[in-house]
Amino acid sequence: MLNTETPNVLHTELDTYATADLAAALIDDQFIAVQAVRAAAPQIAAAIDAALPRIEAGGRLVYVGAGTSGRLGVLDGVELLPTFSWPNERAISLIAGGKQAMFVAVEGAEDDTEQGAIDIRELHLNQHDVVLLIAASGATPYVLGALQAARASGALTVGFANNPDAPVTRCADVGITLNTGSEIISGSTRLKAGTSQKIALNTFSSALMVKLHKVYGNLMVDVKPTNIKLLRRTVSLTMHATGKDEQTCRKVLEECDFHVKTAIVALQNNISVVTAEKLLTLYQGDVRKALEAVE
Whether 295 is catalytic is no
Kindly name the residue from 110, 122, 277, 292 that is annotated as catalytic. 110
Q: Are 132 and 61 in contact (CB under 8 A)?
A: yes
Residue 27 near residue 195, CB atoms below 8 Å: no
Residue 107 annotated among the catalytic residues of the structure:
no
Q: Are 224 and 85 in contact (CB under 8 A)?
A: yes
Query: Rounded to a whole number, what is the distance in angstroms from the first to the last CA of the chain?
Result: 62
Q: For residues 120 and 66, give the distance between their C-alpha atoms in angstroms, rounded to a whole number.
A: 14
pLDDT tens digits in sequence order for the chain, 295 residues long:
899 999 999 999 999 999 999 999 999 999 999 999 999 999 999 999 999 999 999 999 999 999 999 999 999 999 999 999 999 999 999 999 999 999 998 888 999 999 999 999 999 999 999 999 999 999 999 999 999 999 999 999 999 999 999 999 999 999 999 999 999 999 999 999 999 999 999 999 999 999 999 999 999 999 999 899 999 999 999 999 999 999 999 999 999 999 999 999 999 999 999 999 999 999 999 999 999 987 6
**Residues ≥6 apart with Cβ < 8 Å to 86:** 80, 209, 214
DSSP single-letter state for residue 249:
H
Contact predicate 122/96, CB 8 Å: no
| Greatest distance between any 2 Cα atoms in the chain | 68
pTM here?
0.95
Active-site residue among 5, 13, 56, 79? 79
